[in-house]
Amino acid sequence: MKKNIPNLITLLRIILIFPIIILLEINLKGYVWFLILIGSISDYADGFIAKKYNLKTSFGSIIDPLADKIFILILFAWLCINQIIPYWSFSIIIIRELLITSFRNSKEKGLPAINIAKCKSFFQFLAILLLFYPYNNLLFLDIGLISYWISFILCIYSSFTYLRFK
């Protein structure tokens, strides 16, 4: 792989999940939140840099959505285990992500993310940032849960939108 800044940023997002898991296990949520913030910013930065400097690659088109899924789903799993989000909704999200990612990758040149799916990702990252906020703040918790449910609805809606592309 030729050195490509957006791809390196994307790989950083995947690597970040390991210290996040360890820090969650030892209950250092302030550090977890900071790493989530870095991961969230990296999701925006890799795409912005790739588009602005024409650094799009086949590797990047595969690894970026995968990095997003890994990052989001591991954190959602923790929220589910800790009974912050319900298991049934988390299960639907996992199924959707696997099916739609497979569907998008089955197309000859892949299928780019649609705008509604980009909104879904925004609300997922927002939910995670707010739900992992390290200080007890009921407003952040409430807005985080609202963001989660908005992302859930967009998850379902975008699934049907993708399937129309058959």
pLDDT, one tens digit per residue, over 38-63 is 999 999 999 899 999 999 888 888 89
Residues of the chain with pLDDT under 70: 1-3, 107-111, 165-166
Domain boundaries, the chain: 5-163
pLDDT computed for residue 58 by the predictor: 84
- pLDDT tens for 82-100 read 999 999 999 999 999 998 8
Please check whether residue 152 is in contact with residue 92, taking contact to mean a CB–CB distance below 8 angstroms: yes
